[in-house]
Structure 1
């Protein structure tokens, strides 16, 4: 069983449009937003833990036995 995690459109840093310069009166993005975005991206790209993969395989086997 293979799982592929994907990000919502526009969330992948490699596909994001460059930031436009801030205009007077525009709300600035908080300084922590980049850090939060990087953390989110790193978690999304982490491999599935073996224990979680084992649990999913057990659930699939149980489902197949019922069918």
Structure 2
């Protein structure tokens, strides 16, 4: 049984949902957006934790305006 057509259809739907979920918060005031191209490595370091994922990725940074 070839499941590729089902996976491909579902993946396209999931991708479209992710785009919609990211666009609305990205349009808000105070949100910084960083886009990482496919196959590009990037590093996120916070305190003692470090991640080294690979794109594609959309990173939304929402900082409390009172702390700036």
TM-score of the two chains, using structure 1 as the length reference: 0.33
Give the structure with the larger helix fraction.
1
Pick 1 or 2: higher relative contact order, CA cutoff 8 A, min separation 6. 1
Kindly name which structure, 1 or 2, has the bigger radius of gyration based on alpha carbons. Answer: 1
Give the structure with the larger strand fraction.
2
